[in-house]
């Protein structure tokens, strides 16, 4: 966390930071919080009594955009100045500002380094002209290895800090372990996301994210290790590695196998008991990476694989690769190393050109894949995407029927997979203890998106349930299931969280 003496212009000013969308946005919000805290702002996640409510919006799909709009409108009702930032603000810019006069400003990612000054201007009643959106992929060279040092703002990659008074604390020449970590935690839980990279070079026909998030840019290993150590000192016990595409990590640094080398180093950070990789592209998931994730102590044998569909015809129209059989082979290779490894994915139904046979093929895949969690999404056209221009649109009524059918199938299959874990031994990281109810997650359960595990008192011996605290890692036996959620009896403390931490 960056700290500094409050400036006279911001002393006592209170900003509420509300974050919507994915874990990547949460990391971006904590960078914004660090910049504001360094300039003397009181940073909170509660809009009550705030001078400014800064909403880090999501612009991924229509529902997320509507949620962002509703949050902005609700914030305006508090009487505070409201500022929109994040993906939806970046994606729509002036259009959002024109359509939402309730917002005092709509900011671009380019405003992030000067976020304190922008909020000062809003409070002073100054008009900030909203940006005209542009394709951020065009701001960096096409060749990945030529992108280092590009003068482009990439949220969540802040490596310099200017506290009040403007003194530069570090620059790109300062070793990572000597730089202030440009992050201010907005919660004190035992789990935190660590951003590996931003942007994406893939051209999936349904996805608009690369256009407003930009080209793929990795953070260097020394930056990541320094931030991981800082997070561990703040009480974090599990790191969740996030990006738009984690399997591309290192390609712009000249080493496409860099993630395989980084994972054991992160797992060795003092205080960290679990590292979890997420956002893996099946086409880029190499055998060496599979082995490292499945077998490295301290790394969760967990595979968050972005399949999206399994019909080869649909995948080609999506501009993706794979098939039912190839995906099942990938999962089989995972389970050769770790039979109980966790696996999850998302799928889209109703993509243009999808037929009944394609849906049947997807059902065949899901039935054989033994996934722990499946997110089902119904296709809708997104502004600026190739898919929006494709012929063969599936009717909305048919999309809904397929969505309902696949969602029910996914629930049934994931419940069956949970039942397969009855009697197995799992390591559970305790997330919360509330009125005697102890909730945590096994290695196959990522925060927010997957199920959870409730720990219950043993009949005799074992671990004292009343003594457990968030951050403890315990070994437990699964005794029951509730859908995708597990019930387990703790038998042994694997690693106790430092008492009084975080």
Question: What's 102's DSSP letter?
Answer: T
Cβ count near 44 (within 10 Å): 17
Q: Per the annotation, does 207 bind a ligand?
A: yes
Three-state DSSP class for residue 431: strand
Q: Where are the beta strands (DSSP E) in 165-287?
A: 191-195, 197-198, 217-218, 238-242, 274-277
Residue 14 β-bridge partners = 42
Q: Residue 328, class by beta-carbon neighbours within 10 Å (0-12 exposed, 13-18 middle, 19+ buried)?
A: middle
Q: Is the separation of the CB atoms in 422 and 478 below 8 Å?
A: yes
Residue 85 β-bridge partners = 56
Q: Which residues contact 459 (CB under 8 A, 6 or more apart)?
A: none
Q: Which residues contact 417 (CB under 8 A, 6 or more apart)?
A: 370, 371, 372, 484
Which residue bears the tokens 């962002």?
68
Q: Is the separation of the CB atoms in 21 and 51 below 8 Å?
A: no
Q: Per the annotation, does 414 bind a ligand?
A: no
What DSSP element (H or E) covers 230? helix 221-233
Q: Which residues are annotated as a binding site for [4Fe-4S] cluster?
A: 22, 58, 87, 200, 204, 207
Binding residues: 22, 58, 87, 200, 204, 207
């Amino acid at each position: 966390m960056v700290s500094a003496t409050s400036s006279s212009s911001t002393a006592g000013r209170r900003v509420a930071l509300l974050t919507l969308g994915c874990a990547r946005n949460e990391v971006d919000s904590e960078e914004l919080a660090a910049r504001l805290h360094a300039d003397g702002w009181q940073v909170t996640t509660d809009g009550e009594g705030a001078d400014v409510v800064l909403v880090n919006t999501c612009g991924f799909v229509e529902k997320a955009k509507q949620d962002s709009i509703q949050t902005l409108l609700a914030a305006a009702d508090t009487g505070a100045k409201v500022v929109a930032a994040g993906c939806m603000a970046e994606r729509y810019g002036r259009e959002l500002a024109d359509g939402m006069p309730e917002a005092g400003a709509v900011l671009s990612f380019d405003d992030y380094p000067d976020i304190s000054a922008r909020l000062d201007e809003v409070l002073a009643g100054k008009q900030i002209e909203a940006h005209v959106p542009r394709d951020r992929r065009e701001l960096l060279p096409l060749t990945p290895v030529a992108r280092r040092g590009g003068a482009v703002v990439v949220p969540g990659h802040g490596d310099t800090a200017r506290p009040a008074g403007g003194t530069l604390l570090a620059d790109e020449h300062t070793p990572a372990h000597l730089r202030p970590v440009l992050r201010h935690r907005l919660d004190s839980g035992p789990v935190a996301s660590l951003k590996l990279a931003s942007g994406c070079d893939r051209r999936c026909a349904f996805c608009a994210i690369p256009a407003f998030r930009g080209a793929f840019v990795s953070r260097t290993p020394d930056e990541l290790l320094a931030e991981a150590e800082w997070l561990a000192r703040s009480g974090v016990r599990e790191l969740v590695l996030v990006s738009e595409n984690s399997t591309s990590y290192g390609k712009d640094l000249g080493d496409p196998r860099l993630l395989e080398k980084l994972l054991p180093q992160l797992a060795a950070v003092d205080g960290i008991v679990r590292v979890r990789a997420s956002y893996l592209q099946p086409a880029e998931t190499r055998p060496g990476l599979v082995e490292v994730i499945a077998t490295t102590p301290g790394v969760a044998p967990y595979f968050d694989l972005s399949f999206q569909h399994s019909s080869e015809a649909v995948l080609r129209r999506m501009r993706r690769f794979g098939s039912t059989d190839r995906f099942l082979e990938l999962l089989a290779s995972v389970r050769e190393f770790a039979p109980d490894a966790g696996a999850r994915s998302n799928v889209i139904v109703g993509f243009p050109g999808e037929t009944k046979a394609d849906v049947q093929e997807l059902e065949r895949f899901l039935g054989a894949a033994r996934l722990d969690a499946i997110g089902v999404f119904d296709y809708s056209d997104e502004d600026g995407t190739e898919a929006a221009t494709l012929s063969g649109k599936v009717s909305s009524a048919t999309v809904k029927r397929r969505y309902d059918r696949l969602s029910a199938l996914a629930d049934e299959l994931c419940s069956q997979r949970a039942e397969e874990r009855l009697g197995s031994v799992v390591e559970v990281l305790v997330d919360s203890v509330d009125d005697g109810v102890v909730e945590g997650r096994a290695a196959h359960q990522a925060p927010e998106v997957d199920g959870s595990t409730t720990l219950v008192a043993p009949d005799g011996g074992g671990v004292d349930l009343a003594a457990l605290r968030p951050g403890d890692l315990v070994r437990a036996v699964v005794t029951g299931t509730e859908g995708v959620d597990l019930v387990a009896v703790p038998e042994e403390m694997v690693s106790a969280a430092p008492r009084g931490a975080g």
